[in-house]
Amino acid sequence: MKFFIDTADIAEIKEAHALGILDGVTTNPSLIKKSGRPFKDVAKEICDLVDGPVSLEVTAVDCEGMLKEAAELAQYGDNVVIKLPLIPEGLKACKRLTEQGVKTNVTLCFSPVQALLAAKAGASYISPFVGRLDDIGQNGMEIIPQIRQIYDNYGFETEVLVASIRNPIHVLDAALAGADVSTIPFSVFKQLVHHPLTDKGLAQFLKDWKEVKA
């Protein structure tokens, strides 16, 4: 499973990249706003920093507006993936961009049927938001194996990109369900690395080593 980081914080991206496990980046207007910097500057720096795909999101809600924004976003780097909302106009834009050879990430997916529509429109990635489903009392992870099965049943090449991840259990469940990608906040990245028994074991090894040297 590929690991993307869900952020627009350059320092976080650099740290995740240094771990040797980063495959790409997903962003949205809200994340870039938190940086306090102009959108273009942040987007260009991320694209230059990361070898893998970088999802940049449109803000238009009509197909023609999305296509216009997509053309502008694509100029920031060869690794740009156009992030589109899963609405009728977004599906239209997805189809058009796919025909042009542009990679797309259809976002704000909350059901397997929505994911099926995105795949039929040619989406490169589908982003089901598991954490937001959890927030309204559903088990968000339940839709991931359902999407995986539908895609496998019909040979769709759209990659399942699990989004709105809140904790390491989400990452584990996504991997067990056969997701292609998890896009993970930096706070969860740090949690994935640490385990209390690892820390305890290392502390004991270092203590023993000091005594051996003495």
pLDDT in tens, 188-210: 999 998 888 888 898 888 888 88
The predicted pLDDT at position 165 comes to 98
The predicted pLDDT at position 147 comes to 98
Separation CA 174–CA 172 (nearest Å) = 5
Mean pLDDT of 53-80: 97
As a whole number of Å, the CA-based R_g of the chain is 19
Domains of the chain: 2-213 (3.20.20.70)
> 49 and 10 in contact (C-beta within 8 Å)?
yes
pLDDT surpassing 80 at residue 214: no
> Mind telling me the catalytic residues?
83
> 80 and 54 in contact (C-beta within 8 Å)?
yes
Separation CA 71–CA 56 (nearest Å) = 11
The predicted pLDDT at position 200 comes to 87
The predicted pLDDT at position 205 comes to 86
Residue 100, phi then psi, degrees to nearest 5:
-90, 0
Give the count of beta carbons closer than 10 Å to the beta carbon of residue 99: 9
Mean pLDDT of 19-44: 92
Amino acid identity for residue 96 in this structure: R
Mean pLDDT score across all residues of the chain: 95
DSSP code for 21: -
The predicted pLDDT at position 209 comes to 85
179: left (phi over 0), alpha (psi -120 to 50) or beta: beta
Q: What is the pLDDT of residues 104-157, one digit of tens each?
A: 999 999 999 999 999 999 999 999 999 999 999 999 999 999 999 999 999 999
State the pTM of this model: 0.93
Q: Is 2 helix (H, G, I), strand (E, B) or coil?
A: strand
